[in-house]
Amino acid sequence: MTTDATTPPTPTPLTPTVPARATPAVVLNGLGKQFPGTSIPAVEDVSLVIAPGETICIVGASGCGKSTVLRMLAGFEQPSWGHARVAGVDVRRPGPDRGVVFQDYGLFPWLSVAENVAYGPRQARLPRAEVRERTARVLASVGLERVSDSFPHQLSGGMQQRVAIARVLANEPAVMLMDEPFGALDALTRTEMQHELQRIQREAGITVLFVTHSIEEAVYLGDRVLVMAGGTAHGTPGHVREVVDIDLGPVRDTSSAAFNALERRIDALVHRGNAREDRAA
């Protein structure tokens, strides 16, 4: 082919003209777990597709398998059935794309706040300057700059939980897995942390799975609430009872009629009996 000055070659487009449909952040597909030496599955057939940036709260009576679902997604437990996928990739082991925050903060007591936060990026062998920059940015974003040289035992529970969240954020995860993270905090600190989490989640666009005992917290934070039921203590595997849409918009008034109606509905779902025959209902 010949070219001349008047007919420049057509440039190859760098981006496709039709955008691909967004990959879901998380896909749970028929996820189930039976622990060795037990007679019935702890969790059975959990399926859910979660969009990027969505917050899913998981509620249900003790022992219905909430933590087990989160642990499979974290890669701490292998599923017996089905699979968990994050950004289109099967979960096989723990990874920095999934940050985990538990009720007990899990901080390294021998490291300062800043060193705790820098730990993940260092493990990932990021260049020193980037580790420093990221640590400073994350500490600032969760209001920890002034305690960056303190050690965990010098901080209140709320501040320690902030450090735990900061440590996860420093890895820039796509998904944050939180198992009753605010359960040990006093009511005031808990409310403050809920606001903080909401802000961080929106700023960073992170997808959040959040297990809680508090139905109010679930309705306050969740775009959807996954209600689980059953559990080996009831002679039935833990399973999804219902997924409730929280169509309240971004600003939520916990004393509004719509908020309270959703709380009552979820409370009734959580406390409905767990007999085997319920499953057909």
Ligand X SMILES: Nc1ncnc2c1ncn2[C@@H]1O[C@H](COP(=O)(O)OP(=O)(O)O)[C@@H](O)[C@H]1O
Torsion-angle region of 62 (φ positive above 0: left; ψ -120 to 50: alpha; else: beta): beta
Residue placing its CB nearer to Mg ion in the complex, 53 or 63: 63
Residue placing its CB nearer to ligand X in the complex, 99 or 238: 238
| Interaction between residue 67 and Mg ion (CB under 5 A) | yes
Binding partner selected for residue 38 from ligand X, Mg ion, none, CB under the kind-specific 5 to 8 Å limit: ligand X
How far from chain centre, in Å, is Cα 49? 13
Which residues have a Cβ under 8 Å from the Cβ of 195 and sit 6 or more positions away? none
Q: Binding mask 100-119 vs Mg ion (x if CB under 5 A, - otherwise)?
A: --------------------
Q: What Rg, from alpha-carbon coordinates, does the chain have? A: 22
The least distance separating ligand X from the CB of residue 253, rounded to whole angstroms, comes to: 29
Question: Per the structure block, which two tokens stand in for 75?
Answer: 């890669």
Sign, CA dihedral 276-278-279-281, equals positive
Residues engaged in binding ligand X (CB under 6 A): 35, 38, 42, 60, 62-68, 231-232, 238
Residue placing its CB nearer to ligand X in the complex, 64 or 107: 64
The least distance separating Mg ion from the CB of residue 211, rounded to whole angstroms, comes to: 6
Q: What does the buried/exposed string (b/e) look like for 67-84 if buried means 16 or more CB atoms within 10 Å of the residue's CB?
A: bbbbbbbbbebebbebeb
The least distance separating ligand X from the CB of residue 83, rounded to whole angstroms, comes to: 18
Residue placing its CB nearer to ligand X in the complex, 64 or 269: 64
Residue placing its CB nearer to ligand X in the complex, 113 or 229: 229
The least distance separating ligand X from the CB of residue 246, rounded to whole angstroms, comes to: 20
The least distance separating Mg ion from the CB of residue 67, rounded to whole angstroms, comes to: 3
Beta strands of the chain (E only): which ranges? 26-33, 43-50, 55-59, 81-86, 89-90, 98-102, 175-179, 207-211, 224-231, 236-245
Question: Per the structure block, which two tokens stand in for 211?
Answer: 């297990």
Binding partner selected for residue 42 from Mg ion, ligand X, none, CB under the kind-specific 5 to 8 Å limit: ligand X
| Binding footprint of Mg ion on the chain (CB under 5 A) | 67
